[in-house]
Amino acid sequence: MDTRAAMQPTPRVLDTAARPASVDIVIPVLNEERALPGCVRTLAAFLDAGFPLPWRITIVDNGSTDATWPVATALAGEHEHVHARRIEVRGRGAALRAAWRESPADIVAYMDVDLSTALDALFPLVAAVASGHSEIAIGTRLGRGARIRRSARRELISRGYNALLRQGFGAGFSDAQCGFKAARARVVRPLMDKVEDDGWFFDTELLLLAEHNGLRVHEVPVDWVEDVDSRVQVVRTAYDDLKGLARVAWTIAAGRGRAPVAARPEPVPWHPEAMPVPAHSAGAVRGGTARSQGAFFLLFSVVLYALVYWLLREFQGPATANVCALVLAGAVTAVLRLRAVLFVVVNHALAAAALNLLPPGAGRPAEAGAVVAAYCLLLVIRVTASPLTRD
């Protein structure tokens, strides 16, 4: 479809004096002197060929030590709509925070420098925000209709991580870490004041807080091909993400996740003669409340399990302490309609296996770490069966 033709104003239908929304596409880079030129030239050519909205490309060098910055400035001089800036703080989150705060555009977006995501999804991504339908739009590699090529390890980690978000936080989005997102600038700026992370976890934290504040997140299925030359350290990133999730869970559970953003109004019927069901009997639960409860449960359940195990080890062996801790934590999960008996049995087996792998005399901290790791692993596996906070 010719998107330029589709967006041409029609007489007596569209206001030709209305200014179209502008888009600033940010490309955060760190030591990407090789990949950057091909990325910018390909993206600029694609946008020139038919993107229907005013656009700008912003390269943000966040602490590169190679020739990335000279390459970025040369590209900015080569293309009229390419802008380059440099910050000394490393991290994708820091780069996006700096660029999105100061962008003059109505819509801020970003994509990874390796162009792993097919560019034909860019206009559908931006259109969901430009139309006012959603405050944030994201590409998803895990949604229905997405087509991806990536290693089994990255696939497993990605699915497990996003399942944990759905289980622990009741997240409505399917892919937090896809490097392909857009947002309404005036909405995302106050939200970023609540985001603490400057690295890879920035995306997840932003999305969790967005849904907690009642904002709508739209998903676009994408075609995505893994670049084996990617700078992402998958295991280290996954570990940092888990630490970030614990922090965000505490923030939301403590009531500190609210941002000064305008709440989306309640849905109303468009037909003038409609007779809608009363709001108090609709049975809907606000996303923010459900996610608060899910975050609180996840944090409380893990902390309770670890605390009970630690205390019982004063006078009980590892196996007995593990069973007692699981029974108490399992009671909490049973309230939320998990298969509690199976949960306890399987976790006891995992914990026993973890304890057997420890060397003799490893000590109580090592034991506690092993059994808590087994408990968290089962939570991740368990999430694909039934979401934690939904009926």
Whether residues 220 and 335 share a domain: the answer is no
Strand order in the sheet with 107-111: 82-87, 55-62, 23-29, 107-111, 180-184, 136-140, 217-221
Q: Are residues 305 and 202 in the same domain?
A: no
Q: How many CB atoms lie within 10 A of CB 143?
A: 16
The pTM score is 0.70
Q: Is 32 helix (H, G, I), strand (E, B) or coil?
A: coil
* Residue 277 in domain: no
Judge whether 12 lies within some domain. no
Q: The domain that contains 137 carries what CATH number?
A: 3.90.550.10
Token pair, residue 377, equals: 């692993």
Task: Describe the crossing of helices 202-212 and 92-102 by its angle, rounded to 10 degrees.
Answer: 60
**Does residue 35 sit in the same domain as residue 182?**
yes
> How far is residue 32's CA from residue 86's CA, in Å, rounded to a whole number?
13
- Residue 257 CB neighbours (<10 A): 21
Give the residue from 253, 272, 307 where a domain finishes.
253
Q: Are residues 239 and 319 in the same domain?
A: no
Query: Are 225 and 330 found together in one domain?
Result: no
Q: Are residues 227 and 311 in the same domain?
A: no
**CB 133 within 8 Å of CB 165:** no
Answer yes or no: is 265 within a domain.
no
Q: For residue 271, is it within any domain?
A: no
Same domain, 342 and 227: no
Q: Which two tokens stand for residue 263?
A: 């709440």
6 assigned to some structural domain = no
Do 341 and 194 belong together in one domain?
A: no
29 and 147 belong to one structural domain:
yes
In a domain, 221, yes or no: yes
Same domain as 34, residue 140: yes
Cβ neighbours around 269 below 10 Å, total: 9
Residue 261 covered by a domain:
no
Task: Indicate if 212 and 341 belong to the same structural domain.
Answer: no
Is 169 a domain residue? yes
How does pLDDT run along the chain (391 residues), one tens digit per residue? 454 444 454 444 444 445 789 999 999 999 999 999 999 999 999 999 999 999 999 999 999 999 999 999 999 999 999 999 999 999 999 999 999 999 999 999 999 999 999 999 999 999 999 999 999 999 999 999 999 999 888 888 888 888 878 877 888 999 999 999 999 999 999 999 999 999 989 999 999 999 999 999 999 999 999 987 766 666 677 778 878 888 888 888 888 889 998 877 788 888 888 888 776 554 444 454 455 555 555 666 666 677 777 777 777 777 777 777 776 666 555 544 444 444 555 566 667 777 777 777 777 778 777 777 777 776 665 554 333 333 3
Q: Tally Cβ neighbours within 10 Å of residue 272.
A: 5
User: Same structural domain for residues 101 and 224?
Assistant: yes
* DSSP E strand boundaries for 177-317: 180-184, 217-221, 223-225
Total number of domains in the chain? 2
Q: Buried b / exposed e across 280-298, counting CB within 10 Å, b at 16+?
A: eeeeeeebbebbbbbbbbb
> CA 118 to CA 218: how far, in whole Å?
18
Which amino acid does the sequence have at 132?
Answer: G
- Name the residue range of residue 170's domain: 20-253
Q: Which residue in 192, 182, 195 sits closest to 25, CA to CA?
A: 182
